[in-house]
Structures are given as C-alpha cells and as structure tokens.
Amino acid sequence: MAIVRTPILSFKASGTLSRSVTYGNWKTLNTVREYVVPTDPNTPAQQEQRTALADAVAFARTIWSLPGIKAAWNRQAARSGKRITGWNLFLTFLME
C-alpha cells in the first residue's frame, strides 16, 4: 500500500478510479493501492478462522467494559509504536 504525501491543505480522495487504483484513508493516512476484485474463498480453513475471530470478539465484548481493561490495552497499544488500537491489540492477543 502506498502512502500519499501531499502539501498542506491539499487533496483527499476515496473510491476506485477506472478499476485500476483505489484511494482511501487508513488511520488518518491517505492511501492509494491497486484495485483488486474481492474474493470469498469459503474454504473450511477460512470458515474455521471466521468462527475463531467471531468467538474472540464475543469474548472480548464481555470483558472490555470491565474497569481498567480498555485503558490498559489502549496504553499498551500506544507503547507498541504501531498504529493499532487497544481493541485490535487485544483481539490479536486472543487470536494467537
């Protein structure tokens, strides 16, 4: 994925141009990438992964609102040096 760097007060674009490139925004960065036709493999392995992620999200939702959990994971995400939220870091932890 290419990151678009433009002068201050410059353009912002989103969407697909002529089925060749797609412009968008990811974590406050303007991006440009090659247009790709989405696929849905629907293989047993993919279904297993989708089920595992759904289970992880369901579990995370049950404890995310407990005192201190959200703040602790958000702090950890900020310290990681990556552009990631505490929620995403927590789900990554659960999926490992």
Over residues 72-91, the pLDDT tens digits come to 999 999 999 988 999 999 99
One domain, residues 56 and 88 = yes
67 and 91, same domain (yes or no): yes
Q: Does residue 26 fall inside a structural domain?
A: yes
39 part of a folded domain: no
Per the document, the length of the chain is 96
pLDDT of residue 8: 54
pLDDT given at position 44:
95
Ranges of residues in the chain whose predicted pLDDT is under 70 = 1-11
Can you give the pLDDT at residue 1? 59
Q: How many domains does the chain have?
A: 2
Query: Is residue 84 included in any domain, yes or no?
Result: yes
Q: For residue 9, what pLDDT is reported?
A: 47
For 42, list phi and psi in degrees, rounded to 5.
50, 40
Measured at the CA of 95, the angle between CA 94 and CA 96, to 5 degrees, comes to 95
Query: Residue 16 sits in which domain range?
Result: 2-34
